[in-house]
């Protein structure tokens, strides 16, 4: 069975100093060996957090990356630099970024950039509250998945960790029920031609609801925002 994967998305919630402090506390905590913990600090904290995590089993991820390898792109950060800084994962297409105007075409390019640099893309897909009406959410999610992975050879496609994160369920919204999330996981599998490997779930995951989502069949990992901001909560997410 796949290791329980917990990805902490710290968004823009912590200062560099707070991020380093939290990473240090986690590094010196007892974490279950059946779990994999990935921390995604903001770009400005990546280097310092990377030094703290060096030699520990806790892994590093970034929250975004540039859609091209290099060039005149003010404010962007390349996949290769993320790799050099010690990242193994990168979140792609988070709804916060889609809300800022990121397009499916850019997300497709970002997935490719991540893969080309040896990073694992954590591809976020999910319907917005207005798209929750019956019959609408499924085509939206299917379209996001197919657009992001279209044209990828099967071996590369398998390296993309697809994350179902209904936008309306991100805190302070409520979580979906596990059966609702499982049903969408099956839609995602169908859109990938029946490839049924476990996905990641995100949206108001807490220590008290995590186990209901991680059934090992539909989901083997979680992407966590709010509940990843304290050591206590992250440790209970990891240790179960
Ligand atoms: P949340 O955020 O866990 O606070 O709902 C998840 C996310 O936005 O990735």
> Cα separation of 7 and 40, whole Å?
7
- List, for residues 99-145, the tens digit of each pLDDT value: 999 999 999 999 999 999 999 999 999 999 999 887 899 999 999 99
> Cα separation of 151 and 157, whole Å?
9
| For residue 226, pLDDT beyond 80 | yes
Q: Which of 224, 228, 230, 233 to mutate for ligand 1's pocket (most ligand atoms within 8 Å of CB)?
A: 224
Query: In angstroms, what CA-CA distances link 41 with 14, 87, 90, 104?
Result: 8, 10, 11, 24
With bands split at pLDDT 50, 70 and 90, how would you rate the model's confidence at 2? confident
Catalytic residue among 59, 102, 127, 165: 165
| For residue 72, pLDDT beyond 90 | yes
Residues with CB under 6 A from ligand 1: 9, 165, 170-171, 202-205, 223-227
94 is catalytic: yes
Residue nearest to atom 1 of ligand 1 (CA): 225
With bands split at pLDDT 50, 70 and 90, how would you rate the model's confidence at 173? confident
Amino acid 92: pLDDT: 98
> Cα separation of 93 and 46, whole Å?
19
pTM of the prediction?
Answer: 0.97
44 CA to centre of ligand 1 in angstroms:
20
- List, for residues 190-213, the tens digit of each pLDDT value: 999 887 789 999 999 999 999 999
201 CA to centre of ligand 1 in angstroms:
10
| For residue 4, pLDDT beyond 90 | yes
Tell me how far apart the 2 most distant CA atoms of the chain are, in Å. Answer: 48
Amino acid 19: pLDDT: 98
How confident is the prediction for the chain on average, in pLDDT? 96
165 is catalytic: yes
Q: Could you tell me which residues come within 8 angstroms of residue 143 by beta carbon, excluding any fewer than 6 positions away?
A: 104
**Helical H segments across the chain, by residue range:** 16-27, 43-53, 79-84, 95-99, 104-116, 137-149, 154-157, 178-191, 210-213, 231-239
């Amino acid at each position: 069975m796949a290791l329980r994967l917990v990805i902490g998305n710290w968004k823009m919630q912590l200062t560099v100093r707070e991020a380093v402090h939290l990473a240090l506390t986690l590094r010196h905590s007892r974490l279950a060996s059946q779990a994999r913990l990935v921390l995604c600090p903001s770009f400005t904290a990546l280097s310092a957090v990377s030094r703290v995590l060096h030699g520990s089993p806790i892994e590093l991820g970034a929250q975004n990356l540039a859609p091209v390898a290099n060039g005149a792109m003010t404010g962007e950060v390349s996949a290769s630099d993320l790799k050099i800084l010690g990242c193994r994962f990168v979140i792609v297409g988070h709804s916060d970024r889609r809300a800022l105007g990121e397009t499916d075409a850019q997300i497709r390019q970002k997935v490719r950039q991540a893969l080309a640099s040896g990073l694992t893309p954590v591809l976020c897909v999910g319907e917005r509250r207005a798209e929750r009406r019956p019959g609408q959410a499924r085509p939206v999610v299917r379209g996001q998945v197919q657009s992001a992975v279209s044209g990828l050879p099967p071996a590369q496609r398998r390296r993309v960790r697809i994350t179902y994160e209904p936008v309306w369920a991100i805190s302070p919204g409520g979580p979906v029920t596990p059966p609702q999330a499982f049903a969408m996981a099956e839609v995602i599998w169908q859109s990938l031609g029946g490839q049924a490997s476990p996905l990641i779930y995100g949206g108001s995951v807490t220590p008290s609801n995590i186990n209901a989502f991680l059934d090992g069949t539909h989901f083997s990992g979680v992407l966590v925002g709010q509940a990843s901001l304290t050591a206590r909560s992250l440790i209970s997410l990891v240790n179960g």
